[in-house]
């Protein structure tokens, strides 16, 4: 369905754009929100993705499924968001290190990764039990916000609140570079 809609979109069909938006908005938002932890920023990212899709509809070439393309766009928009935040906050060197993947010797890289994993696990352990469970379901089990809400028998907003609060705590407890690595995994 999505690929047929995309072909209609390339022919300036506004209804196709609306159908694409309604079919994919929620999953694209969930992906952005899980990485950002801020509902407003996630909504901005999603809107930018769909606006760019409409603006570039004639020239975009999608290999594979439209949904996969949109989720890839989320990843790059999130990276761009954190890049701009990093520049504003003076963390350019740390972000360049993360983005370019520069490592010293292989043994040093493994030690650094182990230390980073240990720091992330310690920060996660400091979260309240319910919040840690929501983050685990979101990040490790890759469940959507709606799936988590259903499984825990809570509202979607409660899940969003847990994710937002957890991201604030993790931002505070982890160094900037570790927080970015946690989000992008």
pLDDT at position 161 is 92
Output the average pLDDT for the chain.
80
pLDDT reported for residue 2: 64
Q: Please give the tally of structural domains in the chain.
A: 2
Quote the pLDDT of residue 104: 43
Tell me the C-alpha distance between 91 and 29, whole Å: 27
* pLDDT less than 50: residues of the chain: 91, 102-107
pLDDT of residue 130: 93
Residues 114 and 83 placed together within one structural domain of the fold? no
Q: What is the CATH number of the domain that holds 171?
A: 1.10.10.10
Q: How far is CA 147 from CA 29, 137, 138, 152, in A?
A: 14, 9, 9, 9
Digit-coded pLDDT (tens) for 33-46:
988 888 889 999 99
Give the domain CATH number at 4.
1.10.1740.10
Domain around 71: 1-90
For 180, what's the count of Cα atoms within 13 Å in the CB-facing half-sphere?
Answer: 22
Which one of 59, 90, 121 terminates a domain?
90
Q: What is the pLDDT of residue 174?
A: 72
The tens digit of pLDDT for each residue in 130-159 reads 999 998 898 888 889 999 999 999 999 999
Does residue 29 form part of some domain? yes
DSSP H helices in 37-139: 39-55, 66-89, 92-100, 106-125, 129-135
Please report the pLDDT score of residue 103 as a whole number. 45
Residue 46: the pLDDT is 93
Q: Are 95 and 82 in contact (CB under 8 A)?
A: yes
Per-residue pLDDT at 82: 79
- Are 1 and 36 part of one and the same domain? yes
Q: What does pTM read for this prediction?
A: 0.57
Q: Tokens 């409409």 map to which residue?
A: 54
Q: Is residue 146 part of a domain?
A: yes
């Amino acid at each position: 369905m999505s690929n047929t809609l995309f072909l209609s979109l390339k022919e300036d069909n506004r209804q196709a754009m609306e159908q694409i938006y309604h079919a994919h908005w929620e999953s694209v938002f969930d992906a952005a929100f899980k990485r950002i932890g801020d509902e407003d920023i996630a909504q901005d990212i999603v809107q930018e993705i769909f606006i760019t899709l409409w603006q570039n509809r004639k020239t975009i070439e999608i290999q594979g499924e439209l949904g996969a393309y949109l989720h890839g766009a989320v990843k790059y928009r999130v990276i761009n968001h954190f890049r701009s935040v990093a520049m504003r906050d003076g963390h350019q060197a740390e972000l360049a290190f993360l983005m370019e993947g520069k490592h010293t010797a292989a043994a040093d890289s493994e030690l650094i990764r182990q230390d980073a994993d240990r720091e992330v696990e310690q920060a996660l352990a400091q979260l309240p039990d319910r919040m840690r469970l929501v983050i685990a379901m979101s990040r490790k089990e890759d469940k959507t916000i709606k799936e988590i809400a259903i499984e825990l028998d809570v509202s979607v907003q409660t899940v969003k609140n847990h994710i937002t609060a957890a991201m604030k705590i993790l931002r505070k407890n982890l160094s900037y570079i570790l927080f970015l690595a946690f989000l992008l995994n």
